[in-house]
Amino acid sequence: MTADIDLFLKAKEERVANVQKALKTHPTILVLHTNIPSVHKHGALPNILLSIFDKLLKTLLHTPAQRYLSADGDYYMYGLNQEAIAVKKTCIFLEENHPIGRFIDLDVHQKNARFTRKDMNKPERTCFLCEQPASVCRREQTHDPKTLYAYIKEKTQAFLIESLAQESMLALRKELFTYPCFGLVSHRSSGMHKDMNISHFLSAFPVLKEAFKQYLTMALEPDFNLRDLRKAGKMNEQALLKATDGINTHKGAHFIFGLCLPYYLQNIWANKSLHHFLIDIKTAAAKIARDDFSKKIKATTDGLIAYHKYQIKGVRGELESGLNSIFDWYPHKTLSASQKLCKILARSEDTTLIKAYHPTTLRAIQDCMKALEASEFKYEKKVQRCLKTMISPGGAADLLALTFFFESTDHLLK
């Protein structure tokens, strides 16, 4: 025990020294670290908390950060040119108003002083469990660290479920508002579709979000399995059709996000990488493909018909490849949404196009997209003209939405 205390004290001394060193080049230093029991300062949970708030702070402060490894828990340090009082106001707002802001500490330092809540005439932070001053509970060891950790874990998981579902909906909305977009439904027009418009898509969003939250919740249950996930998916598929008066707006997107989200959250919570997530997706998709492409299953959907007729696997094959149509070029955030759609279409076997046309048409479209990509989209008029072609690559659009989701959340994976 004494050795542990000495180690923690030394780590805190090192952090103070690092702050003083940084203050030689910046007037204000912000330190982000976790506000959780010392025995749980390392592992997946603190890493998740640090990743969430590091991304948020970089967005708010427009500055990079350096991560430091420490026996007392890792931390991020930001060198700032803003006045300490302004920075502290922002930090206090985050600590008090962010859903999991109570689980992080944002310490603001200036030369010869640390800018505290007391300097801002703010009361001391309270305990998570009893609302007494946190310093009192910490000093008197009022609560078992396991109880505190369980509370932090529960709240963080709830935040992740809500946030990932919300980011999924934002990604789908961003895809819907992408233009030009061939003959897809958008905010500008219904494209080549006479049976649907943007209102049908928006009507599906509330049902989709609740479905996604259900799948994410299932992912954290100890008995999570693919069979139950697919069973829940079929029930929600009917709810989607009811919300849109029988119009199929998101069957493909529901399938893709419904499979990806649970494994995505599991990998976040296990502190694993994007690569490991893709391995999990490949494994799950391979099982789905074996089950769905069995001769015992009657071909009633576009995807199954395309497979039995042309041996094209569509979205199942895309997932089984580890989302190659995205990760063959991802990340590439400087491209426009329409250009990303072209990159995906150049690689994906979109069964919605096969249904409307023929595999030879799909190959011709892929060749056109590859030529545009090879020219680095320099022939802008040709790109625009191609994008206004009356085809509706719904499968590629679903993958574009998934790309937007990865762009906004991949910082959560190791």
Pairwise CA distance, residues 292 & 230, whole Å:
12
* 358-397 burial: b if 16+ Cβ within 10 Å, else e: ebeebeebbebbeebbeeebeeeeebeebbeeebbbbbbb
- As a whole number, mean pLDDT of residues 9-17 equals 91
Tokens of 240: 């989607």
pTM for this predicted structure: 0.93
Beta bridge partners of 28: 80, 110
Pairwise CA distance, residues 346 & 328, whole Å:
11
Beta bridge partners of 77: 31, 66
Residue-wise pLDDT for 134-152, tens only, equals 889 888 889 998 999 999 9
CB 33 within 8 A of CB 54: no
Residue-wise pLDDT for 204-222, tens only, equals 999 999 999 999 999 999 9
Q: Is the pLDDT of residue 374 over 90?
A: no
Q: Is the pLDDT of residue 173 over 90?
A: yes
- Sorted by where each starts, the structural domains of the chain and their CATH numbers stand as 2-143 (3.30.70), 150-412 (no CATH)
Q: CA-based angle 266:106:122, to the nearest 5?
A: 125
Q: Which pLDDT score, from 0 to 100, does residue 302 have?
A: 72
Q: Is the pLDDT of residue 48 over 90?
A: yes
- Write a three-state SS string for 105-138: EEEEEECCEEECCHHHCCCCCECCCCCCEHHHHH
CB 169 within 8 A of CB 204: no
- As a whole number, mean pLDDT of residues 153-160 equals 98
- List Cβ neighbours of 324 (8 Å cut-off, separation of 6 or more): 318, 347
Higher pLDDT pick, 224 / 391: 224
Beta bridge partners of 110: 28, 113
